[in-house]
Amino acid sequence: MITILRLTLLEALRWRTLWALVALTLAIVVLSGLGFEYLVSQARAHHTKELQLQVGVSQMLIFCAFMFSFILAATAAFIGAPAIAGDVESGVLLAMLARPLGRGRFVVGRWLGLAIVVSTYGAVAGLLEIAAMRLASGYGPPDPLGAVGGLVGQAVVVLGVTLLLSSRLPAIASGAVAIVLFGLAWGVGVLGGVGTALGVDSLGAAGSVARLVFPSDGLWRAAIFSLEPPVVIAAIAGNRSLRVLEANPFFAATGPSSLYLAWCLAWAIGILGLTIVSFRRRDL
Amino acid sequence: MLAMTTPAAAPPPPGPGGPAIETHELVKRFGRTVALAGLSMRVERGEVFGFLGPNGAGKTTAVKLFLGLTPSTAGEGRLLGAPLGDREARRRVGYLPELFRYQPWLRAREVLGLHCALAGIPRPDRPEEIRTALDHVGLADRADDLVGTFSKGMQQRLGLGAALLGRPELVLLDEPTSALDPLGRADVRRIIREARERGTTVFLNSHLLSEVELVCDRVAVIDAGRVVAAGTLGELLGEDSVRIRVTGLDGEARAALAGFGPLTDDGDWLAIRPIGADRIPELVAAIVAAGGRVHAVEPGRASLEERFLGLMSQARPR
């Protein structure tokens, strides 16, 4: 398993596309930091209140996180899709699995290696963006690690599903289906929020179910909650009249419960187990 | 015309620890398609075993079943004394797949290092193993090049090197010369013979009948997932014979040659069938000693290709 983990990390390090993505991300961090600095200085020049500024900056940060979450999910699908299917299609795996290497160890090694790559990229890029925002505006989100954790968790969810699909489907189909599932989960989550805001319980329940079946949207909500100013959270707490804010896909009234986070962990382990079972049964 | 082929060495006696490969009524179905319809065969340790069959006969599927890359639908088998697919047994096996591909972003040396690690070769032994393998397959000067820059033939050489790492007890070679030029094919024959001398069992799956004829001790021919013929090359190809064009030999001397075997006298041409290939030089010497002049010697035996085509036409009557 360690051999496959190291092989996967080496593969990622030699992947030019990944380095290009890192360079682009760094450019975006620098440019967005400059943009924030300009906007905040303009707002202060117009005597905008500090609270308004905090809310505005946090919403812009959440919007950035939203775009970054798609990039991260797409990256997870992009690197996860060929991790099993590509090696099967090319024949690389025939010589490897003829060695005393169990398929379960291969899958876990692949999963761990890619999860490290995605998590490292997501954590470094996310924290850099938050740092750039803080430097430019003076506003720092209350729980930057929680925010980055939510985004990375979301990407690991997509990675796990992509690998599961990759154990059976061709690489391109695995990546495409995983991205569609990610988009669907987000869409149903938004509809669930609208349902809750409008008091349509069945629609609200659909959102909750979607967050259990495919927990990327639940983790996205966790990331949002970690980026919101505490003053906003405090104002909303216990105020049922502000329930309409649930319809905003860039807003979360509550953070994730420990039980939900435990479910996400169990879900990821379960999907990994399914991937192992699925791949073990595959004819090579 | 002088056209002597070197007969393969006699097959070794069954080695200790049972056969290298043994299967009994092995069946593999992919949906409605039957790839193997009851494969029963035995490969002794230390021999070079040729596995022949037309496209779609089930050769590659059989190899995958031996290694546990694909589970069987029914039947049973053992590889190096362990059930098919056993992980510990696979530690003692080298395999060159028909579809040979290696990570294009790794260097040749790194690919071999990866396979050393996967095969469980102790870390201190790996540099020497890698160097020997690279030398063996003629890639020493490309050791630090990316595999992605290799030709198909070079990748196949690399795969052969990977299969031989750690001196495995059994090497399964699936079409090992499909991408090689004549020089490369000669190298593969040399490597197979060297492996045999070290006591390694070689299972050679090949379409190239002439190559199988040159290096294999025993052969099995399969069609539609079943063994239709198996045995040593001698058993499979039948008796040796010889035709000699000779002049200057009187009737008495000609009749004396019958001591070598049943003689057919056809004027300038004499034919003896059967006769052991090792007795042909003795026969020629006897003719010369009796005053005859030898113009041509044509050892005869059905080629493996003729035998193979014959078997296929029997199995698939038109």
* Cα separation values, A118 from A65, A80, A86, A148, Å: 15, 10, 19, 12
Contact B97 A14 (CB under 8 A): no
pLDDT tens, residue by residue, A74-92: 999 999 999 999 999 988 9
pLDDT tens, residue by residue, B52-85: 888 888 899 999 999 999 999 999 999 998 999 8
Name the percent of chain B lying above pLDDT 70: 91
Size of interface A-B (CB pairs under 8 A): 66
Name the percent of chain B lying above pLDDT 90: 37
Query: Average pLDDT for residues A127-142, to the nearest whole number?
Result: 87
Residue B247 confidence (pLDDT) above 80: yes
**A221 vs B26: CA distance, rounded Å:** 54
pLDDT tens, residue by residue, A22-55: 899 999 989 988 888 888 888 888 888 878 888 8
**A95 vs B205: CA distance, rounded Å:** 16
Residue A166 confidence (pLDDT) above 80: yes
Residue partners of A71: CB distance under 8 A and separation at least 6: A25
Looking at the complex, report in whole angstroms how far the Cα of residue B303 sits from the nearest Cα belonging to chain A: 33
B117 contacts in A (CB within 8 Å)?
3
B163 contacts in A (CB within 8 Å)?
95
**A59 vs A133: CA distance, rounded Å:** 12
B249, amino acid identity:
L
B69 contacts in A (CB within 8 Å)?
94, 97-98, 283-284
Q: What is the pLDDT of residue A241?
A: 63
**B163 vs B95: CA distance, rounded Å:** 5
Of A3, A10, A94, nearest to B69 by CB-CB distance is A94
Residue partners of A169: CB distance under 8 A and separation at least 6: A85, A177
Average pLDDT, chain A: 89
Name the percent of chain A lying above pLDDT 70: 97
Residue A17 confidence (pLDDT) above 60: yes
Q: What is the pLDDT of residue A108?
A: 96
Residue B295 main-chain phi, psi, to 5 deg? -100, -30
Q: What is the pLDDT of residue B2?
A: 32
Which residue does chain A place closest to B72, by CA atoms? A283
pLDDT tens, residue by residue, A103-117: 999 999 999 999 999
Chain position carrying tokens 């860039």 = A250
Beta strands in B115-257 (DSSP E): 170-174, 201-205, 218-223, 226-232, 241-247
Enter the ipTM: 0.82
Q: What is the DSSP letter of B297?
A: E
Q: What is the pLDDT of residue B69?
A: 92
Residue B28 main-chain phi, psi, to 5 deg? -135, 125
Query: Average pLDDT for residues B135-156, to the nearest whole number?
Result: 90
Q: How confident is residue B122, by pLDDT bands cut at 50, 70 and 90? A: very high
Of A14, A91, A98, nearest to B67 by CB-CB distance is A98
Q: Which of B118, B146, B147, B157 to mutate to test the interface with A (most CBs of A within 10 A)?
A: B118
Residue B177 and residue B211 in contact, taking contact as beta carbons nearer than 8 Å: yes
Residue A153 confidence (pLDDT) above 90: yes
Q: How confident is residue B8, by pLDDT bands cut at 50, 70 and 90? A: very low
pTM for the model stands at 0.82
Taking each helix axis as running N to C, give the angle between helix A144-166 and helix A171-198, from 0 to 180 degrees, rounded to the nearest 10: 130
**CA geometry: angle at B203 spanning B199 and B204, to 5°?**
125
